[in-house]
Structure 1
Amino acid sequence: MRRINNWTLWGILFCNSFLVGCAPLAPNVDPPSDYTYIIGPGDSLEMFVWGNPEISRTIPVRPDGKINAPLVEELPASGKTPFQLARDIEKELSKYIRNPLVTVIVNDFVGPYSEQVRVVGQAAKPQAVPYKENMSLLDLMILVGGLTDYAAGNRAVIVRNMNGVQQQLRVRIDDLLEDGDITANVNILPGDILIIPEAYF
């Protein structure tokens, strides 16, 4: 496999920075109206089995997206809603318990990678965060601690998958954070990637 050295990587980033200025401004699209949280690897779940406290417990979702619990082995959890997973657990438990009633509550939210919002580049704390309903650009910047001193916030772009097509949409973070221009605050969608480039000197 061909290796990419540091000079090649910097060249790719440098060339891409010129394309950022050509990207259209991100429209303030409506957030998903029917958004429901989807379980992902790394989530921590509370499984309550009514009338059976001995098998009720906290269970982690493994990196492969499955869970193990008393009387429930190798059950896929990733990609399901808590409601769907509870029904699947009930089916498994019904082999041993009469009419089981299960509730699943998510404690620590990670979510599937496809719905996480990623921030890379000149953010104070670049990271991937779980999407939250009605999340905005301002909410996202608060979560990552704002910009570094070297950031070019008004040249930042959101990479967004729209109907299977990947688009680059420019956002005005400097205007939002430094000037308080609320018109620069746009909605974030599940799976968005925010790229914040370094300023030219």
Structure 2
Amino acid sequence: MRLAASLLALGLPLLLAACASSGPLSSGAPPAVVPVADDYQIGVDDIVQVSVWRNPELGITAPVRPDGKISVPLIGDVMAGGRSPDAVAKELQGKLATYVIEPQVTVIVTELRSHEYLSRVRVTGAVRTPVSIPYRQGMTVLDAVLAAGGVTEFAAADRSSLHRKNGDGAQAYGVQLDNILNAGDLSTNYKVAPGDVITVPERVL
């Protein structure tokens, strides 16, 4: 519980900044979520697996260091951060050619650690348990709200909003959460994107 609270606290400044700069609610739906590109850029702390065909002793599995590099047998340090796995593999093949005949190198990111924090979806306001959860492809507003335990009895659910980063600010989209939860109306059950913030305000008594 303390860990979850700490993660949420870390995201709170970003959440407040996003909500403050969102401006009026958009009348339309948020843009479609673009799938993660195949040309993934390796980041610091990602776990990278390097395999050399027929030369298993040259393979490694290691995190990318803070300087963005990994250490490979025979070669030494190679820059991996900010590059695609294919680009790193091609560089390794070129350097290993001095020691191995026609090396075939595969580079795979086995754990995406560097983007995990930025890719979280946050739910705050009048929900049972405000949460910061990892983004999953296909996740919707309802999925995120249910992960937060649903809304409280004090929620003004139909005045909920989804905030999405847009350039230097953020755009807010109205979510009729009461209709989603109680009427089965999924017209505003939008698919969320990495970094989205969902806010559920309380009723004015």
State the distance in 2 between where 1:74 and 1:120 align. Answer: 41
Matches of 1:176 and 1:42, distance apart in 2:
39
Contact preservation (8 Å) 1:20, 1:157: no
Write the deviation string for residues 31-66 of structure 1: whole angstroms up to 9, x where unpaired: 336822333223222211101101213121234433
Specify whether residues 22 and 130 from structure 1 end up closer, same or farther in structure 2 by C-alpha distance, changes over 3 A only: closer
Instruction: Give the root-mean-square deviation of aligned CA atoms.
Output: 3.8
**Secondary structure class of the residue paired with 1:170:** strand
1:136-175 correspondence runs (5 A): 136-138=140-142, 140-141=144-145, 144-147=147-150, 149=152, 154-161=159-166, 164-172=167-175, 174=177, 175=179
CA change 1:110–1:26 in 2 (3 A) is farther
Q: Deviations over 1:135-154 (max 9, x none)?
A: 54445556x55546476654
Residue 100 (structure 1) shift: 1.6
Provide the rounded CA distance (Å) in 2 between the counterparts of 1:158 and 1:110. Answer: 24
Name the structure 1 match of 2:4. Answer: none
Task: In structure 1, list runs of 5 or more residues that go unmatched.
Answer: 1-8
Of 55, 60, 64, which residue of structure 2 is paired with 1:57?
60
TM-score if structure 2 supplies the norm length?
0.64
In the TM superposition, what whole-angstrom CA distance separates every residue of 1:10-39 from its partner, at most 9, and x where no partner exists? 9xx6xx67x878321562423336822333
Mapped to 2, the partners of 1:79 and 1:178 lie a distance apart of: 45
Would the aligned equivalents of 2:121 and 2:144 in 1 still touch at CA under 8 Å?
no
Residue 102 (1) aligns with residue 112 (2): no
Question: 2:199 — aligned with what?
Answer: 196
- Work out the CA distance in 1 between the residues paired with 2:69 and 2:34: 27
- The reply on whether 1:41 has 2:34 as its aligned counterpart is no
- For residue 102 of structure 1, report the CA deviation from its aligned partner: 1.0
What's the secondary structure of 1:90's corresponding residue? helix
1:24 — aligned with what?
A: 26
- Asked if the contact 1:66–1:75 (Cα under 8 Å) also holds between the matched residues in 2, the reply is yes
Matched with 2:95 is 92
Q: How far 1:71 sits from its partner (Å)? A: 3.2
Q: Which residue of 2 aligns with 1:3?
A: none
Change in 2 beyond 3 A, CA 1:171/1:61: farther
- The share of aligned pairs that are identical, in percent, is 28
For the residue of structure 1 that corresponds to 2:91, the secondary structure is helix
Look up the match of 2:189.
185
Determine helix, strand or coil for the equivalent of 2:33. coil
Partner Cα separation in structure 1 for residue 97 and residue 130 of structure 2 = 46
TM-score by length of 1: 0.65
Tell me, which stretches of 5 or more residues in structure 2 are unaligned? Answer: 1-11
| Change in 2 beyond 3 A, CA 1:41/1:141 | farther
Distance 1:20 1:57, change over 3 A: closer
Correspondence list, 1:1-16, <5 A = none
* Partner SS for 1:106: strand
- Within-5 A mapping of 1:109-120: 109-112=112-115, 116-119=119-122
